[in-house]
Amino acid sequence: MTGKFDHIITISKSTKTEIIESLHYPSEKISVAYPGVDERFRPGRKNGKNFTIMFIGGLKPRKNPEFLLQVLARINQPNVELVLAGDGPLKNKLKGKHVRVTGFIAEKDKPTLYHQADVVVLPSVKEGFGMTLIEAGASGLPVVGNRVWSIPEIIQDGVTGFLARPGDADDWAQKIIQLIKSEPLRRKMGEAGRRQALTKFTWEKNIQAQLKVYENLVC
């Protein structure tokens, strides 16, 4: 199928690697254009005393939301809650103390949802591009994600958030506890995440990357 194309534009370096390895497509015929983040996502004021760990996405195996229940159990603090914002086949399995499942979230409601979080997490086992991490950064929030696929392309470990070992609930808990204990660290990482979102992940840069491909094909 790829033989029909002169060039492929993909959303992440990890997806480019997958295309090369699975379809044996030439690297020089694949370019990366990161998606941009919507300007609607910006910092807001959080209400409430609880520390809120927020997951936003489909409640399905690839997103691995069940793993977060293990992480919450390791944290084991009464003022910490886990909010799973989304819907999917795993919804009825995601029950526990200090766990709240919101159900389907409309796109128009997402910016306000980020304002209810202290940290946004993404425990996916496979992720072409973790858009929620970019939206969280634009919203001024620190992020924690698995060190897999495209996630390390988005999270600057120790700068905009933390990269954690896949499947290691203790490592995940340790990193989130650092954020629970330090409001200055949360603020510093959130500010760095917003700077990154406004410079690296913009639609202007996405368009520039695509135009460069088209110009090279025409020449």
pLDDT by residue (tens digit) across 46-84? 988 899 999 999 999 999 999 999 999 999 999 999 999
- How many residues does the structure list for the chain? 219
pLDDT in the model for residue 136: 99
CA pseudo-torsion sign 84, 90, 92, 94: negative
Distances (CA, A) of 140 to 144, 155, 176, 187, 196: 14, 13, 16, 8, 10
Judge whether residue 139 has pLDDT over 70: yes
Residue with the bigger pLDDT between 2 and 61: it is 61
Q: What is the pLDDT confidence band of residue 106, given thresholds at 50, 70 and 90? A: very high
pLDDT by residue (tens digit) across 158-190? 999 999 999 999 999 999 999 999 999 999 999
Domain spans of the chain? Answer: 51-197
> What is the rounded average pLDDT for all residues in the chain?
95
CATH class, 51-197 region:
alpha beta
- Long-range contacts formed by 73-76: CB under 8 A, 24+ apart: 73/169, 74/169, 74/170, 74/172, 74/173, 75/173, 75/176, 75/177, 75/180
